[in-house]
Amino acid sequence: MRQLKENGHAIKVVARDKDVLLKVLDEDHVPYEIFGQHKESMFGKILGTIPNLFLYNRIVGKFDPDVLISKASFYAVWIAKLHSKKSVIFPDSEVVKLTNKYIAPYATKVVTPGTFGLDYGDKHVRIKGMFEDCYLSPSVFTPDASVLEKYQIQRPYAVFRFVGWFANHDVGNKGFSLEQKIQLTQEVEKHMKVYVSSEKPLPEELSHCRLNIPASLMHHVLAFADLYLGDSQTMATEAALLGTPAIRSNSFVGENDMTNFKVLENQYGLLFNRGSFDEVVRLISDFLENSKKQEWMEKKRNYFRSTGDSNQEIVRILESV
């Protein structure tokens, strides 16, 4: 957004009220308009589609943009069609059927990481790195250790992230059970402080681990952690790219897993993907016995040396639509 504005483009941000999204926008002082609320149940999602489309359409009609840009928004692509506008989407998960069937075919351009396993034809453009590079590259993000002191983060520490599994593409998939979350926390707590970020309310057994920081400062805390563990998709990638030893576990893991996670593990050695809980427990034991932070920092440097500046690459793509 900053680079596009510097190049003379006007930008309007639209968002749904989901998880910490609005908090992050507020904390980063980004003006936005809300076009709806995120619903957890499938019935709620279906019921909310029409009013969301109506609000989105009204905002677009008033602002009159040339291009609608989104991760892979059904609303953005179809409202763009309605107004005869161009649309650009940035999917990075091959397994999301909604994107593959109802969104990507109707977008003007589809931008993905270079390792993306699907091909959308002539409209498909691949970039060298991953989308998380845009905000975590050393050229744009410098971890601030004073955040740890300000919010009394005790070192050494681990960050756990548990998601709610409410998204459309999460239907039929799962992460850690409550019992597994408690077991993992108790095991790691024997060696270091554990801070938990969770979309669902934390049970009483884990309430003492709640990470109480502004959402926009999460990456500073993640960058100095000695271990990351979670069933989240995005934060696993973020931890890896920040040089934090990272373990990801959920039902997506396996032969048909998303390419970006396979690449981070197999090509760069920055992430461990494990589908079995027993494998996670064994891996954690190894991490706790053998500190790997410095090793991960070197892997991180190697990764960013190979990917270049994703922001400049994406801006060039957007300006050529």
pLDDT 10s digits, 61-97: 999 999 999 999 999 999 999 999 999 999 998 988 8
When pLDDT is averaged across residues 126-132 and rounded to a whole number, the result is 94
Question: What is the pLDDT confidence band of residue 107, given thresholds at 50, 70 and 90?
Answer: very high
- The verdict on pTM exceeding 0.85 is yes
Share of the chain above pLDDT 70, in %: 94
Please determine, for residue 167, whether its predicted confidence score (pLDDT) is greater than 60: no
Residue-averaged pLDDT of the chain:
91
Q: What is the pLDDT of residue 233?
A: 87
What are all long-range contacts of 280-288, with beta carbons under 8 Å and residues at least 24 apart?
280/184, 280/229, 280/247, 280/249, 281/183, 281/184, 281/187, 283/247, 284/184, 284/187, 284/188, 284/227, 284/229, 284/247, 287/227, 287/245, 287/247, 288/188, 288/191, 288/192, 288/227
Question: What is the pLDDT confidence band of residue 317, given thresholds at 50, 70 and 90?
Answer: very high
Please determine, for residue 175, whether its predicted confidence score (pLDDT) is greater than 90: no
Domain ranges in the chain with CATH number 3.40.50.2000: 2-137+309-319, 146-306
CATH 3.40.50.2300 for domain 2-137+309-319, yes or no, is no
Question: What is the pLDDT confidence band of residue 31, given thresholds at 50, 70 and 90?
Answer: very high
Share of the chain above pLDDT 90, in %: 79
When pLDDT is averaged across residues 171-193 and rounded to a whole number, the result is 88
Please determine, for residue 199, whether its predicted confidence score (pLDDT) is greater than 60: yes
CATH 3.40.50.2000 for domain 146-306, yes or no, is yes
When pLDDT is averaged across residues 250-269 and rounded to a whole number, the result is 92
When pLDDT is averaged across residues 164-191 and rounded to a whole number, the result is 79
Please determine, for residue 241, whether its predicted confidence score (pLDDT) is greater than 90: yes
When pLDDT is averaged across residues 188-216 and rounded to a whole number, the result is 94
Q: What is the pLDDT of residue 47?
A: 66
